[in-house]
Structure 1
């Protein structure tokens, strides 16, 4: 398996888990936040839905400049977030399928105007996007737990699934 195939496989695995998590977000929770310094559910869900699109961005541009980018989308319902997720997944999958190993070695930068946060090979940006997706999905799991929403398993059964198995 080459690196592109590895990323395609990872994208599909992470997509399945992300779909499960986004699908359970109650529409009436989008304005909720656990702490004033925390994102709202809307901000977090919107961010999670868009993260898979980072692969497409990394493969089709040389940088992301926050000083010139549009403000992130903020969804107010699960259906719109899921539609965004599917669009981002499809675009990124198509770009990965068309990519070459040389494309993965190209430098890519994240900046805000003159301040460059990093310049890394596209392959590292893709790996980082998977890490960010996992991180923020786990953050959403904590938010949902605080809202008393049953959490599905990610890489194995969740505590809710384990309790159901033990206690029925």
Structure 2
């Protein structure tokens, strides 16, 4: 029942991510709101990348960042980033569908450089924080980027400000 619930949320929220990525025009990809921020293209690519972390999180007990293989794409075209998202989405969906409720309570950790960077914790906690909430956080940033560049934001949870302007 737990995995089924996660899959339902995942499918609903991935559609929101898809809407958001499809709202990004190529003209906004170089926008950077501050010296400490990513460009729109880098942020969009990161959002897509998180979906590629699902298989290693759902089916491994350790996510070693040293051996992780990124799906590197040319981020100067939003279609490449959307393609990266779609490939990662399919792998993520398969990883959830093949998971078990029992596995949600097994410990999971992240390592890099031979060190533990995220201490062992139940997989379900990692899925909620490291995967799902992480994506939602960055989608919120992307909404600010889109509005800052004068672009429309898609409706994800009902009516939005832009709807009132019609």
Give the TM-score taking structure 1 as reference length.
0.88
The CA deviation at 1:67 is 4.3
Unaligned stretches of 5+ in structure 2?
none
Unaligned stretches of 5+ in structure 1?
none
| Structure 2 CA distance for aligned equivalents of residues 54 and 67 of structure 1 | 13
Per the alignment, in what secondary structure is the counterpart of residue 120 of structure 2?
strand
Give the TM-score taking structure 2 as reference length.
0.89
Matches within 5 A, 1:1-168: 2-70=1-69, 73=72, 75-113=75-113, 114-128=115-129, 129-164=131-166
| Structure 1 CA distance for aligned equivalents of residues 15 and 104 of structure 2 | 24
Task: Sort the Cα spacing of 1:69 and 1:100 in 2 relative to 1 into closer, same or farther, 3 A.
Answer: closer
Partners of 2:44 and 2:81 within 8 A in 1: yes
Partners of 1:54 and 1:126 within 8 A in 2: no
The CA deviation at 1:6 is 0.6
The CA deviation at 1:134 is 0.7
Number of equivalenced pairs? 163
| Structure 2 CA distance for aligned equivalents of residues 73 and 147 of structure 1 | 25
| Structure 2 CA distance for aligned equivalents of residues 116 and 148 of structure 1 | 38
The CA deviation at 1:104 is 1.5
